[in-house]
Amino acid sequence: MSKLFLVPTPIGNLQDITFRAVDVLGKVDLILAEDTRQTKKLLNHYKINTPLQSHHMFNEHKSVEAVCSKILDGMTIALVSDAGTPGISDPGFLLVRTCVEKDIPVETLPGPTALIPALVNSGLPCDRFSFEGFLPPKKGRNKRITGLTEETRTMIFYESPYRLVKTLDELAIHFGPGRYASVSRELSKIFEENIRGTLSFLSEYYTNKPPKGEIVIVVAGRRD
């Protein structure tokens, strides 16, 4: 039966992909990729020759109906992002929702995502947590952070290396400079780094050592 597969891809180390994911990517009729150039590197590594088509945040509203039509006509399609699980701070939600509305089967494979290893590695409680993704760069940013001041669960944020220190400083203002946190950088890659401490310590650390790469911030929730 034709369907849509959501296939997680490695966040760094190319070995962090399941046998099943490789099998699905090799058998589907078409792979929708956030960046075809990036996905091509992965496909070449595993000798997968499935056709690629671009599907990203700038064209998904225009292409979603055409993709659904292809599945309804009998094609089986896989969606991948540059890294991690589609739909988690990456394109995917709109296509999945549209498929669900059209009664198109959707199957999501388990696999890599940066937030879980960063959370578990932080040493902070991970039985309950709040994933916040990327904070708004400008409009709505302060409101979002203010709304989290009473959050008691561990909080997880994705961040750009260029805004890391700014974000740590803003979190320190709202949560207090002594709030414990962890910064995970380049997870699963050669230069992986996990630094733990207070928000003020982390801000000073990365002020003196400007970061590079993909970053996850994990922050302790408020204690009564």
| 194-209 residue pLDDT tens | 999 999 999 999 999 9
HSE toward the beta carbon, residue 108, CA cutoff 13 A = 14
Look at residue 57 and tell me whether its pLDDT is greater than 90: no
Q: Which residue has the higher pLDDT, 139 or 27?
A: 27
Whether the Cβ atoms of residue 57 and residue 12 lie closer than 8 Å to each other: no
pLDDT at 185: 97
Using DSSP's 3-state secondary structure scheme, residue 11 falls into coil
In this structure, is residue 122 part of a structural domain? yes
Look at residue 11 and tell me whether its pLDDT is greater than 80: yes
- Residue 37: give the domain boundaries: 4-108
Residues 65 and 128 in one domain: no
Q: Rounded mean pLDDT of 152-164? A: 97
Q: pLDDT grade, residue 90 (50/70/90)?
A: confident
Q: Tell me which DSSP letter residue 9 carries.
A: B
Q: Rounded mean pLDDT of 147-174? A: 97
Look at residue 224 and tell me whether its pLDDT is greater than 90: no
CATH number at residue 67: 3.40.1010.10
Whether the Cβ atoms of residue 216 and residue 121 lie closer than 8 Å to each other: no
Average pLDDT of the chain?
Answer: 95
In this structure, is residue 170 part of a structural domain? yes
User: What pTM value is reported for the model?
Assistant: 0.92
Q: Rounded mean pLDDT of 70-77? A: 97
| Paired residues of 158 in beta bridges | 134, 216
Residues 99 and 127 in one domain: no
Nearest to 131 by CA among 66, 221, 61, 47: 221
Residues 131 and 89 in one domain: no
pLDDT at 62: 85
Per the structure, the count of domains in the chain is 2
CA dist., res. 170 & res. 141, Å (int): 10
Q: pLDDT grade, residue 59 (50/70/90)?
A: confident
Model pLDDT for residues 92-116, shown as the tens digit of each residue: 999 999 999 999 999 999 999 999 9
pLDDT at 58: 78
CATH number at residue 143: 3.30.950.10
Residues 210 and 136 in one domain: yes
Residues 103 and 120 in one domain: no
CA dist., res. 1 & res. 202, Å (int): 51
Residues 134 and 211 in one domain: yes
Handedness of CA 25, 26, 30, 33 (dihedral sign): positive
Residues 43 and 122 in one domain: no
Residues 131 and 206 in one domain: yes
pLDDT at 49: 97
Nearest to 216 by CA among 38, 192, 126, 170: 192
